[in-house]
């Protein structure tokens, strides 16, 4: 029944968010509708809403499931984007994942959900 999901996260500064998502995370900027930002990469959309209250935007994040996680990890590692507590690793719940925090404090977990025997962990 379900086909896809789109995270809607907080943005505290439009210009900085656009720069971070396009120049650092490699997303294409699609639109700015009065502070509501939309980005896309490989068919995955991320939306961000204008938020002026840091408390209202706390603790936001999402999982993005990817293929070829090693390549993406190296791409973000070269840009020094990997969260200090989020290196690529096999998690007890069966996902190989790593974490990146954007310029607004939103956390992204990039995960490869292949079975352990296929993922080579």
CATH classification of the domain holding 42 = 3.10.180.10
User: Domain total for the chain?
Assistant: 1
Structural domain for 40, as ranges:
8-52+60-119
Query: Does 3 reside within a domain?
Result: no
Query: Does 2 reside within a domain?
Result: no
Query: Does 1 reside within a domain?
Result: no
The mean predicted confidence, pLDDT, of the chain is 91
Question: Is the distance from CB of 50 to CB of 35 less than 8 angstroms?
Answer: yes
Kindly report, residue by residue over 59-77, the tens digit of the pLDDT.
Answer: 899 999 999 999 999 999 9
Tokens of 17: 């968010």
Query: Does 37 reside within a domain?
Result: yes
Mean of the pLDDT values across residues 19-25? Answer: 98
Q: What is the pTM of this model?
A: 0.87
Determine the pLDDT at residue 115. 58
Q: How far is 47 from 11, CA to CA, in rounded Å?
A: 9
Query: Does 32 reside within a domain?
Result: yes
């Amino acid at each position: 029944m379900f086909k896809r999901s789109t995270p809607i996260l907080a943005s505290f500064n439009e210009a900085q968010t656009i720069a971070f998502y396009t120049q650092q995370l490699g997303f294409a900027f699609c639109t700015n509708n009065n502070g509501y930002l939309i980005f896309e990469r490989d068919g995955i959309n991320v939306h961000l809403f204008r938020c002026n209250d840091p408390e209202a935007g706390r603790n936001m994040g999402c999982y993005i499931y990817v293929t070829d996680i090693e390549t993406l990890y190296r791409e973000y590692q070269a840009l020094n984007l990997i969260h200090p507590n989020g290196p690529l690793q096999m998690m007890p719940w069966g996902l190989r994942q790593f974490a990146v925090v954007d310029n607004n404090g939103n956390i992204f977990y990039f995960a490869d959900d292949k079975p352990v025997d296929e993922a080579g962990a």
